[in-house]
Amino acid sequence: MMSRLGDERAFKLLREHYNVVRDSLTKLAGREVKRTGDGIMASFDDADQAVRAAIEIREGVAAIDVQGTDEYLSIRIGMTSGEPLEEGGDLFGSIVNLASRLCDLAEPEEILVSTACQSELIDTSIVLESIGEIIIREFNEPVSVSKVAG
């Protein structure tokens, strides 16, 4: 997108994306861990709030107007639950790697969640669609993955 829109215009859209994400994190008690290129790694204490934030972020990013084009911004989100290692405010470990791999596997506008995240959800209004067991690089066993409907 940067090559098509130019650096200045594309960076303006990236800032708008960051604003949408940060607003949702603030509203739903998430913590920005770090920027990851054009994304943001975030952490939550509650799976329901994390998924609600992801849905809100997906909708907010889709509403960003890419003026003068027929393009739109879309995001990919990967989520899991567990206790990562933490050092210097950054998160590490297999939990982080799994969330990153799920993000990489997601299609535009998809929110993929692992079994661990699914098992912690209490909010029955969150609808998940199973996409089955997936072999994920660096993991010995297939991971059961679902996507958030909508």
Instruction: Look up the CATH number of the domain holding residue 59.
Output: 3.30.70.1230
Identify the band that residue 13 occupies on the pLDDT scale cut at 50, 70 and 90: confident
- How far is it, in rounded angstroms, from Cα 140 to Cα 150? 31
Nearest CA to 50 among 69, 74, 70, 28?
Answer: 28
Per-residue pLDDT for 69 more than 80? Answer: no
Helix (H) / strand (E) element for 90: namely strand 90-92
In tens, the pLDDT along 42-61 reads: 999 999 999 999 999 999 99
Query: How many domains in the chain?
Result: 1
Rounded (10°) CA dihedral 2, 113, 99, 17: 30
In tens, the pLDDT along 97-124 reads: 999 999 999 999 999 999 999 999 999 9
Both tokens assigned to 72: 């739109």
Domain that includes residue 93, residue range: 2-148
